[in-house]
Structure 1
Amino acid sequence: MGHREQLLAAARQLLEDKGYAHITARDLVAASGTNLASIGYHFGSKAGLLNAALGVVFEEWTTQLTTAALAEPDASPIERAHLAWAALLDSLTGRRALLVSFMEALAQADRDPALRDQLAQMYRRTRRRVAELVAAALEVPPEDPRCTAVASWVMAVCDGLSMQWLLDPASTPAGEHLLAGLADLRTVSEQR
């Protein structure tokens, strides 16, 4: 494993242990067994390294939720969204520290243009992946603006559920309750 990979692994662990706002460059060097120059060489700055580590975590989580959404081959597009939201809710407990780190990064993004750009790129990549799933479900090209709009809406629900859970986990629904409630709403809607 090279310095780049060592630094990313250390940054990821520190994001879980200390949170985004409390990690120093010395923490990263100590945890990775590398040196300060490696941070600058591979990532430009400590913030660049932490943002890259958040990007890796974000991509992994997106892949996990995509896998959940595609787990039922006969599911309708809306059922796939419901499955992804339920998987999100069920995975939050094990990701609390990383979710808090992500929120800390978001809070700093307005004052750090490079961070804002990195986070925006993460959202663009995720939106594109979700839009491709929507396009396949609707049997339209992924460039169709409706696909991007629906992808943005799906992501907004994920972000909103995550924020609710961070603030009040006991009042946030479990995945199975969300699925049951959404199924009941669909049934009522179809009956009208």
Structure 2
Amino acid sequence: MGHREQLLAAARQLLEDKGYAHITARDLVAASGTNLASIGYHFGSKAGLLNAALGVVFEEWTTQLATIAMADPDTSPIERAHLTWAAHLDSLSGRRALLVSFVEALAQADRDPQLRTQLAEMYATTRRRVASLVAAALGDDVPPDDPRCTAVASWVVAVCDGLAMQWMLDPTSVPAGAHLMRGLADLRAISE
């Protein structure tokens, strides 16, 4: 494993252990067994490294949820969304420390243009990936850049983020995945 991979692994672990706002460059060097120059060489700065580690986490979560959403080809698009949100909710307790680190990064983004740009790109990448999944679920040769797909992708990401924020503040008040799915099915039945 090279210095880049060592630094990313250390950053991820420190994001879980210390939180985004409390990690120093020296923490990263000690945890990775590398040196300060490696951070600058591979990531430009400590913030660049931490943001890259958050990007890896974002990608992992998106991949896990995409696998769930696309597991059954006979499931309707709305059922895929329900399954994804339920799985998301059910997985939050194991991700609390990384969610807190992400919120800490978001809070700093307004004062750090580089961080803001990196986080915006993470969201853009996630939206594109989700839009591709929406297009695949819709079929009929709908392209991922169809405005409907990008709108649904933004909405799906917003629901995931909103549920995560509510859960972080009060886990007992957020519905379990199964309850969310039943409630959404009831809402859909009422609106038809």
TM category (shorter chain) comes to over 0.9
| Cα drift, residue 5 of structure 1 | 0.2
Aligned to 2:178: 176
- Once the two structures are overlaid, the 10-residue window that deviates more, 136-145 or 4-13, is 136-145
Aligned-partner residue type, residue 120 of structure 1: A
Aligned to 1:3: 3
Does structure 1 residue 151 correspond to structure 2 residue 162? Answer: no
Aligned to 1:45: 45
> Which whole-Å CA distance do the structure 2 matches of 1:96 and 1:55 have between them?
16
Aligned to 1:188: 190
SS in 1 for 2:71: coil
> Which whole-Å CA distance do the structure 1 matches of 2:63 and 2:182 have between them?
24
Give the 4+ runs in structure 1 shifted more than 3 A: none
SS in 1 for 2:75: coil
Aligned-partner residue type, residue 7 of structure 1: L
Does structure 1 residue 96 correspond to structure 2 residue 78? Answer: no
SS in 1 for 2:16: helix
Q: Does the CA contact (< 8 Å) of 2:70 and 2:133 recur in 1?
A: no
> Which whole-Å CA distance do the structure 2 matches of 1:29 and 1:94 have between them?
26
Aligned to 2:75: 75
> Which whole-Å CA distance do the structure 1 matches of 2:155 and 2:188 have between them?
18
> Which whole-Å CA distance do the structure 2 matches of 1:146 and 1:180 have between them?
25
Aligned to 1:133: 133
Q: Deviations over 1:97-130 (max 9, x none)?
A: 0000000000000111110010011111100011
| Cα drift, residue 186 of structure 1 | 2.2
SS in 2 for 1:130: helix
- Once the two structures are overlaid, the 10-residue window that deviates more, 137-146 or 24-33, is 137-146
> Which whole-Å CA distance do the structure 1 matches of 2:64 and 2:145 have between them?
24
Aligned to 1:167: 169
Aligned-partner residue type, residue 14 of structure 2: L
Aligned-partner residue type, residue 77 of structure 1: P
| Cα drift, residue 71 of structure 1 | 2.0
| Cα drift, residue 24 of structure 1 | 0.3
Aligned-partner residue type, residue 27 of structure 2: D
Q: When the two structures are superposed, what TM-score results if normalisation uses the length of structure 1?
A: 0.96
Q: When the two structures are superposed, what TM-score results if normalisation uses the length of structure 2?
A: 0.96
> Which whole-Å CA distance do the structure 1 matches of 2:173 and 2:96 have between them?
16
| Cα drift, residue 184 of structure 1 | 2.0
Q: RMSD in angstroms over aligned alpha carbons? A: 0.9
